[in-house]
Chains A and B, each alone.
Chain A
Amino acid sequence: MIKAVINLEAPREHVFAILTDYPRYKQWLPGCEQSDIVSASGATTDTNIVINSMKKMQLGLRFEAQPTQSLNFRMTAGKDMKSYVGSYRLMDAADGVGTVVIAEMEIDAGAMVPKFMVDRIAKKSIDDTGTALKSYVKKVPFQGGVAPKAAAPARAEGAKPRRAKRIIQVVKTAEGYRVWMMGQTYTITEK
């Protein structure tokens, strides 16, 4: 499974809206030439996607969305790959603004293509998708209607008083001086 972390300067609702706006994939997803919804039922959407990357491929992709939480996808039709599965998991950024997306992807191109090669292609694809998503998120205004609420910084959630941290200590002993600094102890003796 190839994974990547994508930092986006946009609220989670906005990022989720972009990821689930399947017909507009061709506006930002690298190599995407066509993206049509075939059917939709509840959180499940079947699409027909044409990707022109190293090779032109036509895929049937099924997306399963958990609003603002995650988006899973898997190949349901296509001749060029044996399987293609992945997900986007969305989390509020710890600084209180923005979204962190954990992208995962697994491609099985069949026995004829070595796994290391497929993984390399998948890694490039996931990185390019992250870069493209970053710039598209900035370009497209949030269409949600309701302004996203400012997320509380994640670190404030469990905030508690910080413990006192010793930095340096010098102690005079019968043998000389003992210096304790950032976890290391040094002894200074007179010559």
Chain B
Amino acid sequence: MSLLTYTKKASVALPCESSLPYEILTDYDTYFEWMPHVSKSKLLAKEGDLAIAEFDMTMPQGEKFAVECIHTKNKMVMTRKISGKIPVWQYEWIIQPAGEKQCNVTLTIQGKTSWHRLVPHYRSLISASKCIAALQAQVASYSPDLAVADQGGEKLIEIAETEQGLVCWLRGKKYNLTPAPEGK
């Protein structure tokens, strides 16, 4: 590592198949749900294992960055910056299976050392541990094994987004939620 570049690395063990973090990492339309300081995310184009995506940042407001992404199914997602001011060259996510329903995810962030790194909002984006924690939280939304309820206690209420729409479990009974008319 030189003075002009930096590398940051973080890992996490996840109690799920490799396919789940891979699906989250390649679903570019939903990065805004979990990636720190990303307010909008959009897949622009996809051909085979190459995708182009664009992200809007919450702060500095309106700032965008575009990335090109290369995938290896359930193993690797590499995201390289094409345009934008964020002080990152690339994010490399490596997913390794670690037994039944277990996998390890390692994130390596590389970039150029610049004053931009001092901007608080950029700091989250270049923090491998924060990005990994955000991925872990998103994985938990899809993986019941990570959720707190499974540690015991009485489940009072749970709301989940499914293919059938919003579903609510209230004291063990399932309800399908339908949108209420505007203003009601």
Q: Are A172 and B141 within 8 A (Cβ)?
A: no
The segment out of B1-9, B95-103, B122-130, B156-164 that lies at the interface is: B156-164
Q: A100-B45, A102-B68, A171-B155 are in contact. Are A180 and B147 (CB under 8 A)?
A: yes
Task: For the complex, give the distance between the alpha carbons of A163 and B22 in Å.
Answer: 13
Q: Are A165 and B82 within 8 A (Cβ)?
A: no
Does B44 count as interface, using CB distance less than 8 angstroms? yes
Task: For the complex, give the distance between the alpha carbons of A180 and B163 in Å.
Answer: 21
Residues of A contacting B163 in the complex (Cβ-Cβ under 8 angstroms): 161-162, 164
Q: A3-B82, A166-B160, A167-B159 are in contact. Are A173 and B152 (CB under 8 A)?
A: yes
Chain B contact surface mostly: strand
Interface residues in A160-184 by Cβ distance below 8 A to B read: 161-174, 177-178, 180, 182-184
CB distance from B30 to the nearest CB of A (A): 9
Interface residues in A23-55 by Cβ distance below 8 A to B read: none
The segment out of A79-87, A91-99, A105-113, A135-143 that lies at the interface is: A91-99
Does A131 count as interface, using CB distance less than 8 angstroms? no
Does B11 count as interface, using CB distance less than 8 angstroms? no
Taking Cβ atoms with an 8 Å cutoff, the residues of A that contact B are 3-5, 7, 91-94, 100, 102, 154-155, 157, 161-174, 177-178, 180, 182-185
Taking Cβ atoms with an 8 Å cutoff, the residues of B that contact A are 20, 23, 29, 33-34, 42-47, 50, 52, 54, 66, 68, 82-83, 134, 136-138, 140-142, 144, 147-149, 152-163, 166-167
Given A93-B45, A164-B162, A167-B161, output 16 extra A-B contacts at Cβ < 8 Å. Answer: A5-B44, A91-B47, A92-B45, A94-B44, A94-B46, A155-B29, A163-B20, A166-B141, A168-B158, A173-B152, A177-B156, A178-B149, A178-B153, A183-B137, A183-B141, A184-B137
